[in-house]
Amino acid sequence: MYGILEGTGFEVIEPEFATLFAGHIRVERLWSGARWCEGPAWFPAGRYLIWSDIPNNRMMRWDETDGSVSVFRPASNNSNGNTVDLQGRLVTCEHLARRVTRTEHDGSIRVLADSYDGKPLNSPNDVVVKSDGSIWFTDPFYGIASDYEGDQSPVEQDGCHVYRIDPSDGGIRRVADDFAQPNGLAFCPQERFLYVSDTGASHQPDGPAHIRRFAVAEDGQLTGGEVFANCTNGLFDGFRVDRDGRIWTSARDGVHCYTPDGTLIGKVLIPEIVANVTFGGPKRNRLFICGTTSLYSVYVFANGADRPV
């Protein structure tokens, strides 16, 4: 696809952002036909991208070798966030089954987390893997708030929290309990910090619409949690961090780019609401963007962190 896609482009707010693209680079719409896209995850060995079409209860696959798109997994339990673990396996948040799973090398699906303190999780939303193999996920109630993205069900946890699955014994620990609706999450390149978004404004008019930053101890304890950035247009849902520590985050009008000190330096404008992004391609310099009904991509002069964040 060549030429200018209407409603797209780069918006420079601070001069640094102008160094992150070339003027002739265009946003491409790779595919359209979903109801609500989230959870892009890049598989370098297979050169494909997996993502979720939540209300249509399916996972899709875009193949870099020929640009084709196919259904990767029908009846996906209204999957949402996906990531790739240290062994190249798919890790998935499922609204309908209210769990986090891992797809093993033989294709079988193993449950990693479906309860805490003897009660079902709400509806795991997004997930990342740290370099020590621990798996971190958020658990807002979006997937059980209606029948649209799962089964409408009561919340049985005492709120919406952030959890960590221990790599040694699979134990689940609650690591943050002061969120309204924890949503996207990602580590900075050195993993000294964990960023977590709160999209509580979706259900409370004066609720949070921000990303918070926590310091991460070796044992997984979090401290701090100050607000890193407030969203200026819509909500921060999912986001990723590049090797220089910049945050590329979803928002209503596209992808917003922040420097590690919390400065909004520019945007990639997208004509639909953006929910999640990830870096992919052999050099991890191609940003894949889940925007409502469509999958978009754009090359940038930045590279996603090498770890599967």
Shortest approach of Mg ion to residue 290 CB, angstroms? 10
Binding residue count for Mg ion, defined by CB under 5 A: 5
155: its two tokens: 């919340």
Q: Does 202 bind Mg ion (CB under 5 A)?
A: no
Nearer to Mg ion by Cβ, of 64 and 126: the residue is 126
Nearer to Mg ion by Cβ, of 20 and 100: the residue is 100
Q: Does 94 bind Mg ion (CB under 5 A)?
A: no
3-class DSSP state for residue 199?
Answer: coil
Shortest approach of Mg ion to residue 250 CB, angstroms? 8
Q: Does 126 bind Mg ion (CB under 5 A)?
A: yes
Residue 263 DSSP code: -
Nearer to Mg ion by Cβ, of 64 and 139: the residue is 139
Span from 100-108, 120-128, 157-165, 220-228 in contact with Mg ion (CB under 5 A):
120-128
Shortest approach of Mg ion to residue 82 CB, angstroms? 11
Span from 28-36, 122-130, 205-213, 219-227 in contact with Mg ion (CB under 5 A):
122-130
Q: Does 197 bind Mg ion (CB under 5 A)?
A: no
Q: Does 103 bind Mg ion (CB under 5 A)?
A: no
Span from 15-23, 217-225, 232-240, 281-289 in contact with Mg ion (CB under 5 A):
232-240
Q: What angle do CA 74, 254, 194 make, to 5 degrees?
A: 80
Alpha-carbon gap, residue 89 to 72, rounded angstroms: 14
Alpha-carbon gap, residue 164 to 135, rounded angstroms: 6
Q: Does 199 bind Mg ion (CB under 5 A)?
A: no
Q: Which of 28, 198, 237, 253 binds Mg ion (CB under 5 A)?
A: 237
* Partners of residue 136 on adjacent β-strands: 128, 164
Q: Which of 84, 101, 172, 93 lies closest to 140 in space, CA to CA?
A: 93
- HEC profile for 27-90? CEEEEECCCCEEEEEEECCCCEEEEEECCCCEEEEEECCCCCEEEEEECCCCEEEEEECCCCCE
Which residues are within 8 A (CB) of 205 and not within 5 positions of it... i.e. 6 or more apart? Answer: none
Q: Which of residues 170-189 bind Mg ion (CB under 5 A)?
A: 183
Shortest approach of Mg ion to residue 18 CB, angstroms? 29
Alpha-carbon gap, residue 211 to 227, rounded angstroms: 6
Alpha-carbon gap, residue 96 to 94, rounded angstroms: 6
Shortest approach of Mg ion to residue 235 CB, angstroms? 9
Shortest approach of Mg ion to residue 65 CB, angstroms? 28
Q: Does 250 bind Mg ion (CB under 5 A)?
A: no
Which residues are within 8 A (CB) of 260 and not within 5 positions of it... i.e. 6 or more apart? Answer: 188, 244, 245, 246, 247
Alpha-carbon gap, residue 71 to 207, rounded angstroms: 36
Q: Does 85 bind Mg ion (CB under 5 A)?
A: no
Q: Does 122 bind Mg ion (CB under 5 A)?
A: no
Shortest approach of Mg ion to residue 105 CB, angstroms? 27
Span from 5-13, 123-131, 149-157, 201-209 in contact with Mg ion (CB under 5 A):
123-131
Shortest approach of Mg ion to residue 138 CB, angstroms? 7
Largest Cα separation within the chain, whole Å, is: 55
Kindly list the residues in this chain that would bind Mg ion in the complex (CB under 5 A).
125-126, 183, 237-238
